[in-house]
Amino acid sequence: MKENYKLIISYDGTRYYGWEHQPNTEMTIQGKLEQVLSRMVNAPVELIGAGRTDAGVHAKGMVANAHMDLKRSTEEIRDYVNNYLPDDICVREVRRAGSRFHSRYNAIGKTYCYTCYVGALKPVFNRKYVYIPEEKPDVERMQEAASYLMGTHDFKSFCHNPKIKKSTIRTVDRIEIGKKGDYLNFTYHGTGFLQYMVRILTGTLLEVGYGKRAPESMKELLEAKDRSQAGLTAPPQGLCLMEVDYD
């Protein structure tokens, strides 16, 4: 009898074309996990992710679920999968979930962190996980700009997909920008995020930090509902999905 299993997954997205299946490539996180799970149960397995991280984006706490017929314990499932996964993907935890649990539809919030390196020396060992901005941005200016972006708004100006048909209204209840040593972290929490939204928010806030935009211009940018009015899309390697929230 099939049971529903919830997986918590960490991965280094550097080598992959994102979470979701892509045509003409096996190099996706979802694809690699499904290959191993299908081998374990000797049948096709569909793994449903809480979100669709883009190519080059990382995760510490992606959540996914799959229905499988197994007699193994959750620890045995975890250990089997990790034994056959590549070294840049790890299933941190496996739990039995209710039959109706859906990792995407039941999610009520997500936390992302975007990391910039602002030190004087090259970040040799962390270079795959940070973005090095063109200059050191003014943190206070960015914090002021972020205050206009928090709340429930139409974030169409911060969506990569111009043909999106679903609502672009989202609630972002926390944007924290702070420097710790040589690292500048942008932490976002919200009910959900549009395609490339966190990276476009970060790129736009950095332009505020460089003095290219006024903090209060975020109000007009939200009202414009025009992607071309927002800033550049920050590179993927600085972004990491930290956690997915459920009731």
Is residue 54 part of the annotated active site? The answer reads: yes
Quote the CA–CA distance of 205 and 221 in Å, as a whole number.
12
Instruction: Please identify which of the residues 12, 54, 154, 245 carries the catalytic annotation.
Output: 54
User: How buried is residue 49: exposed, middle or buried, by Cβ count under 10 Å (0-12/13-18/19+)?
Assistant: buried
Quote the CA–CA distance of 119 and 132 in Å, as a whole number.
9
Q: For residue 116, what are the β-bridge partners?
A: 131, 184
Residue among 52, 31, 34 at smallest CA distance from 43: 34
Question: What are the structure tokens assigned to 100, written together?
Answer: 């109706």
Q: Which residues are marked as active site?
A: 54
